[in-house]
């Protein structure tokens, strides 16, 4: 992919975020191009969550600028980011288990039909679209009225991703989508990420698992203690190097040696 | 499902096919439907000769059930939205006294007194909701505070102005008032006279009203109950806002992330609960012709019990208005039925406790069945 010819979809420039006396982000920069999967790696406490929450409008940056399609953005609430086309799928807050898949899918974006002066939730349309979208993502539902609670963790992530794509997300932020999943479910989610990327959507994939990142990522940015430790391109970096950058030190290297490179 | 047949459905061999019976178990109204059937069969067998199912008997338990239903509808939507309101009972006493104070003591026209009371009470409901949202405290605590605040204010207001805790004479002021008749009047009186004339229902056989039917119409209370049930059911299941109510109670944070205005939904539901309590109070004041500062004690719990019997989860996000209405019906039929059957009335509370426990256990099972938890 020739990134040079394309304009980045989103540019985060020198983002700083302070919480009182704590400096959570100390100048992080990143750009994401359409159709690429940009992996954001970092250990716990590196500032990954704070960073994506700034990107998705939950936090306002203390310093720095956010350019979306070349224009400066000032998100004051998540709704602003969503309407600009930045959708975020949170690890465990994506879906409401007691509600049906269709109700979850259209939550906040309910289709309506007019009957006289009244507007009603168009359940028929909602169910039909949900079934279709799920089938393209490779999930066969028993029915769109099936409760989300009956789906597996991977399927829930997939529903959330399909939902974001259906509602026109240009940038899709995935917050550790694979961290709580089994092997099979993880590969399903990674396959979904690949499908989404091929539609030209920019994916920001947050993880602390190097192998998951390398499986789908085009570029890799490593965060450590609120700072960027550089961005690497696919094929130019080894899993070991990424792992070292994330740990930000040598201890892990020695630890890894004793564990035989299994971390 | 036509689209299912064209693309050969790939079934996962690990998913057990779910029988229709088990599927039907996963409806929130199930407990309510079973309970209603059991209750009616029981009283048909034990109390059918006591007059429970003649026109007066039916009207008797219908009115009591409708009272429960009016406050249960509000409590139901609020509980599905993830909050409680324990101040409903105090709100009923408060609203009644305000109506009577403004109309009888201060001489306002009845319609103005009623409208002013609705405005004040809905504003208090909004304040409840606003406090819950702003402080992040459990609604249980905030509305418990209002349970005492409103009850105290009610008694104080009544005594400070009239030196009594009961304000009478409402009926005289309400005479001929268009809005008062919306709460205290009866409808279909012509139909009931016709039924009486033709011998379908009992009529008075002596006295000044000889020849008139004993039950001369449907009280507006019952009409209000039906309107509120239908309105809330459609709102919850058939509209966008209904989806937001489920979402707000199911997981407020997840709902916020996709742009559902959770705070607005919750505050509106507190206001709706206050509205229902005020409807209850207005009907009661018009029926009795007086307002009492002690009215409505324990009503908040009766409302919550009706809702739980109706299959709603105390944790929010799941429930049904129809279920809550059936819960209210069970409540009313049993309370009045025990009277008809000549059972010691204190046993009603025993029954109440037992059925509440059974309902909660059944609901927990249903939730596990839906969410697949172990």
**Per-residue pLDDT tens for A202-258?**
999 998 888 888 888 899 988 888 888 778 888 888 887 877 777 765 555 565 566
Which has the minimum average pLDDT: A185-194, B55-64, B320-329? A185-194
Q: DSSP 3-state assignment of A172?
A: strand
- Whether A74 contacts chain B with CB within 8 A: no
Q: What is the pLDDT of residue B63?
A: 95
Per-residue HEC secondary structure of chain B comes to CHHHHHCCCCCCCCCCCCCHHHHHHCCCCHHHHHHHHHHHHHHHHHHHHHCCCCHHHHHHHHHHHHHHHHHHHHHHHHHHCCCCCCCHHHHHHHHHHHHHHHHHHCCCCHHHHHHHHHHHHHHHHHHHHHHHHHHCCCHHHHHHHHHHHHHHHHHHHHHHHHCCCEECCHHHHHCCCCCHHHHHCEECHHHHHHHHHCCCCCECCCCCCCCCECCCCEEHHHHHHHHHHHHHHHHHHHCHHHHHHHHHHHCHHHHHHCCCCHHHHHHHHHHHHHHHHHHHHHHHHHHHCCEECCCCCCHHHHHHHHHHHCCCCCCCCCCCHHHHHHHHHHHHHHHHHHHHCCCCCCHHHHHHHHHHHHHHHHHHHHHHHHHCCC
Q: What is the pLDDT of residues B8-36, one digit of tens each?
A: 444 444 445 555 666 666 678 887 888 89
C-alpha closest to that of B286 among B336, B223, B227: B223
Among the partner-chain residues B4, B11, B254, the one whose CB lies closest to the CB of A95 is: B254
Of chain B, the percentage scoring pLDDT greater than 70 comes to 92
> What is the mean predicted confidence (pLDDT) over A55-74?
87
Interface of A with B in 157-186 (CB under 8 A): 163
Q: How far is CA B81 from CA A104, B55, B305, in A?
A: 15, 38, 16
Among the partner-chain residues B3, B256, B371, the one whose CB lies closest to the CB of A98 is: B371
Q: What is the pLDDT of residue B115?
A: 97
Q: How far is A153 from chain B (nearest CA, A)?
A: 12
Q: What is the pLDDT of residue A262?
A: 55
Among the partner-chain residues A82, A96, A119, the one whose CB lies closest to the CB of B259 is: A82
- Contact assignment for A140 to B18 by CB distance below 8 Å: no
With tokens 């002013």, the residue in question is: B116
Q: DSSP 3-state assignment of A232?
A: strand
Catalogue all structural domains in chain A, each as residue range(s) with its CATH number.
6-94+168-259 (3.40.50.300), 96-150 (no CATH)
Residues of chain A neighbouring B15 (CB-CB closer than 8 A): 142
Q: What is the pLDDT of residues B240-275, one digit of tens each?
A: 999 999 999 999 988 988 888 999 999 999 999 999
Q: What is the pLDDT of residue B104?
A: 93
Q: How far is A149 from chain B (nearest CA, A)?
A: 4
- Reported ipTM: 0.82
- Contact assignment for B15 to A142 by CB distance below 8 Å: yes
- Contact assignment for B258 to A109 by CB distance below 8 Å: yes
Q: How far is B185 from chain A (nearest CA, A)?
A: 29
More confident residue, A54 or B128: B128
Q: What is the pLDDT of residues B308-341, one digit of tens each?
A: 999 899 889 999 999 999 999 999 999 898 888 8
Local structure of residue A147 (DSSP, 8 states): B
Q: What is the pLDDT of residue B302?
A: 92
Q: How far is A185 from chain B (nearest CA, A)?
A: 14
Q: What is the pLDDT of residues A142-185, one digit of tens each?
A: 888 888 888 888 888 888 888 888 888 899 999 888 877 888 88
More confident residue, B199 or B20: B199
- Contact assignment for A121 to B250 by CB distance below 8 Å: no
Q: What is the pLDDT of residue A146?
A: 85
Question: How far apart are the C-alpha atoms of B87 and B150, rounded to whole Å?
Answer: 8
More confident residue, A78 or B64: B64
Q: What is the pLDDT of residue A153?
A: 82
| pLDDT tier at B4, thresholds 50, 70, 90 | very low
The answer to whether domain B30-41+53-371 has CATH 1.10.287 is: no
Question: What residues does each domain of chain B span?
Answer: 30-41+53-371
Q: What is the pLDDT of residue B224?
A: 97
Count the Cβ atoms, other than its own, within 10 Å of residue A6. 12
| pLDDT tier at A57, thresholds 50, 70, 90 | confident
Q: What is the pLDDT of residue A123?
A: 92
Q: What is the pLDDT of residue B30?
A: 80
C-alpha closest to that of B288 among B117, B63, B90, B75: B63
Helix (H) or strand (E) holding A133: helix A123-136
Q: What is the pLDDT of residue A258?
A: 61
- Whether A112 contacts chain B with CB within 8 A: yes
Instruction: Give the tokens for residue B200.
Output: 């379908």
Helix (H) or strand (E) holding A80: helix A78-84
Q: How far is CA B299 from CA A260, B248, B250, B372, in A?
A: 67, 25, 26, 35
Q: What is the pLDDT of residue A209?
A: 84
- Contact assignment for B253 to A93 by CB distance below 8 Å: yes
Q: What is the pLDDT of residue A1?
A: 46
Residue B211 has pLDDT above 70, yes or no: yes
Q: How far is A120 from chain B (nearest CA, A)?
A: 5
| pLDDT tier at A80, thresholds 50, 70, 90 | confident
Q: What is the pLDDT of residue A120?
A: 94
Query: How many beta-carbon pairs under 8 angstroms link A with B?
Result: 92
Q: What is the pLDDT of residue B358?
A: 87
With tokens 């429930």, the residue in question is: B319
Count the Cβ atoms, other than its own, within 10 Å of residue B212. 16
C-alpha closest to that of B20 among A198, A7, A260, A143: A143
Q: What is the pLDDT of residues A110-142, one digit of tens each?
A: 999 998 889 999 999 999 999 998 888 888 888
Question: How far apart are the C-alpha atoms of A129 and B332, rounded to whole Å?
Answer: 43
Q: Tell me if A153 sits within 8 A of A208, measured CB to CB.
A: no
Q: Tell me if B326 sits within 8 A of B308, measured CB to CB.
A: no
């Amino acid at each position: 992919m020739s990134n040079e010819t394309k304009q980045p979809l989103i540019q985060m420039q020198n983002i700083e975020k302070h919480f009182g006396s704590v400096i959570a982000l100390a100048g992080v920069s990143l750009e994401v191009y359409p159709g690429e999967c940009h992996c954001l790696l970092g250990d716990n406490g590196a500032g990954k969550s704070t960073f994506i929450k700034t990107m998705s409008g939950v936090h306002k940056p203390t310093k720095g600028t956010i350019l979306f399609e070349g224009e400066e953005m000032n998100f004051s609430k998540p709704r602003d980011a969503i309407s600009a086309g930045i959708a975020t799928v949170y690890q465990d807050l994506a879906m409401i288990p007691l509600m049906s898949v269709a109700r979850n899918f259209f939550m906040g974006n309910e289709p309506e039909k007019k009957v006289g002066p009244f507007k009603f939730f168009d359940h028929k349309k909602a169910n039909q679209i949900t079934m279709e979208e799920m089938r393209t993502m490779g999930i066969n539902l028993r029915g769109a009225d099936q409760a989300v609670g009956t789906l597996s963790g991977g399927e829930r992530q997939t529903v959330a991703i399909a939902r974001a794509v259906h509602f026109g997300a240009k940038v899709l932020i995935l917050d550790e989508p694979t961290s709580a999943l089994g092997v099979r479910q993880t590969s399903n989610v990674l396959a979904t990420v690949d499908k989404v990327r091929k539609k030209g959507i920019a994916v920001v994939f947050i993880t602390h698992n190097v192998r998951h990142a390398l499986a789908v990522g085009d570029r890799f940015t490593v965060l450590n203690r609120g700072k960027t430790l550089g961005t690497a391109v696919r094929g130019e970096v080894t899993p070991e190097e990424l792992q070292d950058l994330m740990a930000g030190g040598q201890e892990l290297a020695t630890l890894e040696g004793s564990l035989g490179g299994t971390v | 499902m036509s689209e299912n047949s064209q693309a050969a459905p790939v079934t996962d061999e690990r998913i057990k096919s779910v029988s229709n019976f088990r599927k039907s178990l996963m409806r929130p109204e199930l407990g309510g439907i079973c309970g209603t059937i059991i209750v009616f069969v029981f009283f048909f067998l034990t109390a059918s000769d006591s007059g429970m199912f003649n026109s007066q008997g039916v009207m008797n338990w219908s009115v009591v059930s409708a009272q429960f239903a009016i406050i249960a509808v509000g409590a139901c939507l609020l509980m599905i939205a993830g909050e409680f309101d324990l101040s409903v009972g105090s709100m009923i006493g408060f609203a009644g006294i305000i109506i009577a104070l403004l109309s009888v003591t201060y001489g306002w026209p009845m319609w103005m007194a009623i409208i002013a009371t609705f405005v004040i009470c809905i504003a208090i409901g909004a304040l409840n909701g606003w406090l819950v949202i702003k402080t992040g405290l459990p609604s249980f605590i905030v509305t418990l505070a209002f349970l005492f605040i409103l009850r105290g204010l009610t008694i104080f207001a009544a005594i400070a102005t009239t030196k009594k805790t009961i304000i009478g004479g409402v009926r005289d002021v309400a005479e001929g008032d268009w809005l008062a008749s919306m709460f205290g009047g009866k409808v279909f009186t012509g139909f009931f006279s016709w039924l009486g004339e033709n011998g379908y229902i009992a009529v008075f056989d002596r006295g000044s009203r000889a020849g008139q039917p004993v039950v001369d119409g449907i009280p507006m209370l019952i009409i209000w109950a039906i309107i509120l049930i239908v309105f809330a059911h459609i709102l919850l299941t058939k509209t966008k806002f209904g989806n937001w109510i489920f979402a707000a109670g199911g997981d407020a944070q997840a709902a916020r992330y996709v742009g559902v205005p959770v705070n607005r939904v919750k505050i509106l539901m507190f206001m709706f609960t206050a509205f229902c309590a005020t409807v209850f109070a207005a009907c009661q004041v018009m029926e009795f012709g007086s307002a009492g500062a002690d009215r409505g004690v324990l009503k908040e719990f009766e409302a919550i019990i009706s809702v739980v019997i109706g299959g709603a989860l105390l944790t929010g996000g799941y429930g049904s208005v129809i279920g809550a209405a059936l819960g209210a019906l069970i409540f009313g039929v049993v309370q009045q039925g025990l009277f008809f059957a000549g059972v010691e009335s204190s046993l009603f509370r025993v029954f109440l406790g037992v059925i509440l426990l059974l309902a909660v256990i059944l609901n927990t099972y249903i939730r596990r069945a839906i969410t697949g938890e172990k």
